[in-house]
Amino acid sequence: MMNTRFNTALKALPIAVSVALVSGQVFAADETNEQKIAKLEQQVKTLQNQQTANLTERFNFNGFMSGAYITADNNSGYLGSSTSADFSEESKLGFQAIFAITDNTQAVMQLMMKGENDWDVEAEWAYVSHRFESGVQLRGGKLRVPLFMYSDYLDVGYAQPFARPPEEVYGAVPFTTYTGGDVSYALEFDDSTLTVQAFGGESEESGIDIKNILGANLTWTDETWTLRAVYGQSTLDGTTSRSVAIPSQDPNTGLPIFIDASVPLLTLNNEKATFTGVGASYDNGQFLAVTEWTRVEVDGQYTDSDSGYITLGYRINAFTPYVTAAYYESQDDDQRPVVGESSALIAALFNGQRTSYSGGLRWDALDNLAVKFDVTYATDFGDTSGGFQSNVLQKYDNVTVYTVKFDVVF
């Protein structure tokens, strides 16, 4: 009997051991899976944190804003002003994003909303740049036309000492961006840097195709003195037109009204246009001086013009009073003889001259906020409209514009 029980138990032992081993293996396998799942979850979380950290490190975002109040003592149209208070003409909001694709390659986009354009969103910059180990930098996409000393900061009012760059110089070229590319290289000396930049592409403005843009500029600076020279050329193709208010009569009430209409003026057939400019600035942290001179030449009847300005400023703690004198003058009025109504309108619109004098004060109220007050008086129109299409009847021979503005970066 005992032997029988022993034999039965002996036969059952392997089964019991097997069950015990299987149970133990299953339990051990469950712990391993949980550990593996927890480990994987931790790895995923770590990777996500690393990716988030990498994106944060590679992504840079900033913005700027200007708010302006402008009014004038007449309706000549200088700086888009009138006798009514205007809060939109120079108010703007911009956002700039820079994403570092690699250590040497980055994508840049700047979106602008301007009051004068009904706050529509527009891309002023949208390009990719790459810097080679040699120091050469290539950029391609939509870029700012690098014609002026403040071209790169044209919409960033905080980076400018005055309320605005002088219209006599900066208004002589009707487009500010182009689609294409540029290449630049900086030569480092002991205490200064010489940057060479070449650019090319195309643009469009008010129905005019601006093609075959080619140019180059040289900028030398030792952080106190800056000297700059630029030359550019392009071909213009299309028909220029101007918006005019045509006197008419309301058919319902019989009252006099004005109808806005676009009047074609000049047809440009691949006319060559050239731009030449030189500039210099001195800034020792207290005394500031900036000057630029430009010449624009276009084949045919389109305006050739000279312009220039000089600004002097002096920083007293948070306050920088400044004065500016500027001029603009068309140089080829004899190319637009008046022989009839049409030619008279063309001459009135394209002939222009004026001198302006500005006095202003910049107050750096905060580290990133500047408040500016500016009074600009424009005169010496001669026998022209002063260059203002709303003054073709030469009703005004001078104008004073008052500006209060704030510029902030964030």
Residue 242: phi, psi to the nearest 5? -135, 140
Q: What is the pLDDT of residues 254-308, one digit of tens each?
A: 777 767 767 788 899 999 999 999 999 999 999 999 999 999 999 998 999 999 9
Confidence of residue 142 (pLDDT cuts 50, 70, 90): very high
Q: Does the pLDDT at position 19 exceed 70?
A: no
Q: In this predicted structure, what is the pLDDT of residue 381? A: 96
Q: In this predicted structure, what is the pLDDT of residue 238? A: 94
Long-range contacts of 331-334, Cβ-Cβ distance < 8 Å, separation of 24 or more: 331/297, 331/304, 331/305, 331/306, 332/303, 332/304
Rounded to an integer, what distance in angstroms lies between the CA atom of residue 45 and that of residue 174? 53
Q: Does the pLDDT at position 65 exceed 90?
A: yes
By DSSP bridging, strand 399-409 and strand 256-283 are unpaired
Tokens coding 103: 């250590």
Mean pLDDT of 313-339: 95
Q: What is the pLDDT of residues 350-390, one digit of tens each?
A: 999 999 999 999 999 999 999 999 999 999 999 999 998 88
Q: Are 99 and 109 in contact (CB under 8 A)?
A: no
Confidence of residue 17 (pLDDT cuts 50, 70, 90): very low
Q: Does the pLDDT at position 16 exceed 70?
A: no
Task: Give the least confident one: 34-48, 152-166, 183-197.
Answer: 34-48
User: What is the signed CA dihedral for 222, 223, 225, 226, rounded to 10 degrees?
Assistant: 90
Q: In this predicted structure, what is the pLDDT of residue 33? A: 80
Confidence of residue 6 (pLDDT cuts 50, 70, 90): very low
Neighbours of 128 (CB within 10 A): 15
Q: What is the pLDDT of residues 172-184, one digit of tens each?
A: 998 999 999 999 9
Rounded to an integer, what distance in angstroms lies between the CA atom of residue 92 and that of residue 307? 26
Mean pLDDT of 159-163: 96
Longest Cα–Cα distance of the chain, Å, equals 141
Q: Does the pLDDT at position 14 exceed 60?
A: no
Q: Does the pLDDT at position 406 exceed 80?
A: yes
What mean pLDDT value characterizes the chain? 89
Q: Give the side-chain half-sphere CA count within 13 A for 175.
A: 22
Angle of CA points 293, 174, 97, to nearest 5°? 95
The residue that leads in pLDDT, 349 or 196, is: 196
- As a whole-number percent, the residues of the chain with pLDDT over 90 amount to 72
Q: In this predicted structure, what is the pLDDT of residue 115? A: 94
Q: In this predicted structure, what is the pLDDT of residue 12? A: 47
